[in-house]
Amino acid sequence: MIDKNSKIYIAGHKGMVGSAIWRTLTKKGYNNLIGVSSKELDLREQEQVRNFFLKVKPDVVIDAAAKVGGILANNDFPYQFLMENMQIKNNLISEAHNLDVNKFIFLGSSCIYPKLAIQPLKEEYLLTGSLESTNEWYAVAKITGVKLCQAIRKQFKKDFVSLMPTNLYGTHDNFDLNSSHVLPAMIRKFHEAKENDNASVILWGSGKPMREFLFVDDMAEAVVFALENQLPGYLYNVGTGEDLTIKELATTIQKIVGHTGNIIWDESKPDGTPRKLMDVSKMHHIGWKHQVNLEQGIQNTYKWFMENIENLKEKVY
């Protein structure tokens, strides 16, 4: 049984998702959380992970660790995105299994589903078609994580479960234009353009693709829900079940930031998947639903960005 004293190891606890999970668990009274920096523990090295697990003996492992980035980073560094993500989740899952960890929660991404799958994306669409080429390296690593957890669940009857979030954003996000995702990148671009006499903002693609976005604190609540309940299935989508075009996202962020200049769409750049909307009916059916709407979430994120510009200076300016 999991209780407030259980040893809960959060891999990637300094990242956007991991830190949100840490905050949420702390607020709910969990008092035995474990987090180790990448400088102290290299999750790509199996021996280091094994020795750490033998020493700590966690009751729960939440895998929020990954090498992440947007289209540009995935396209430029395919080997690192495939290999390093496979190393991280292989080491965590295998050592958790070997040491009989009570519960393992694996976090993935909506990119595991086929590029042209019927919308909204259902869990059963996994491995039914070709992946989006711009992030297939990351997706393949995440798919193998899902299947490893499913295999352990099937063969050894252990409570290993995978949660597949839609596009996440929020406080502690990455605002580096070389590696960030679309929403934080837009926040930075519109802010800098506003500061530069409301200069024009150039955005990639046509703006026509549709995307779904989930505030990271809602994702953390979904993880806690999976922690406190024994979910009947091995794979669950986590999102809002609502989407909008990238153009609509841009105008929403532009309004919140207060930028009044022009938006220029560079259609020579790739759009990516035409649409990615998650079917979240399985999570709704078992009792979880998101709470933060998109506009409020962007406002919260921009407020945090403004409050932390100096701390983010190396990445932002």
**Residue whose C-alpha is closest to residue 129's, from 108, 111, 147:** 111
Determine if residue 275 is labeled as part of a ligand binding site: no
Determine if residue 39 is labeled as part of a ligand binding site: no
Determine which one of 30, 113, 138, 302 is catalytic: 138
Identify the residue whose tokens are 């070997």.
98
How far apart are alpha carbons 235 and 147 in whole angstroms? 9
Determine if residue 165 is labeled as part of a ligand binding site: yes
Determine if residue 260 is labeled as part of a ligand binding site: no
Q: What's the token pair of residue 138?
A: 């990351």
Q: Is 138 a catalytic residue?
A: yes
Checking DSSP bridges between strand 210-211 and strand 244-245, what pairing results, if any?
Answer: antiparallel
CA dist 76 → 81, 82, 173, 179, 240 (Å)? 10, 12, 21, 10, 30
Determine if residue 204 is labeled as part of a ligand binding site: yes
Determine if residue 210 is labeled as part of a ligand binding site: no
Determine if residue 189 is labeled as part of a ligand binding site: yes
How far apart are alpha carbons 309 and 317 in whole angstroms? 9
Determine if residue 168 is labeled as part of a ligand binding site: yes
Determine if residue 142 is labeled as part of a ligand binding site: yes
CA dist 125 → 131, 243, 291, 308, 316 (Å)? 11, 19, 26, 40, 38
Determine if residue 115 is labeled as part of a ligand binding site: no
Determine if residue 255 is labeled as part of a ligand binding site: no
The enclosing H or E element of 304 equals: helix 294-307
* Percent helix, percent strand, percent coil in the chain, to nearest 5: 45, 15, 40
Determine if residue 167 is labeled as part of a ligand binding site: yes
Determine if residue 271 is labeled as part of a ligand binding site: yes
CA dist 317 → 120, 121, 177, 311, 313 (Å)? 38, 37, 10, 11, 5
Task: List residues with catalytic annotation.
Answer: 138
Task: Please enumerate, by residue number, every residue annotated as part of a binding site for substrate.
Answer: 189, 204, 211, 271
Task: Please enumerate, by residue number, every residue annotated as part of a binding site.
Answer: 12-18, 107-110, 142, 165-168, 181, 189, 204, 211, 271
Task: Please enumerate, by residue number, every residue annotated as part of a binding site for NADP(+).
Answer: 12-18, 107-110, 142, 165-168, 181
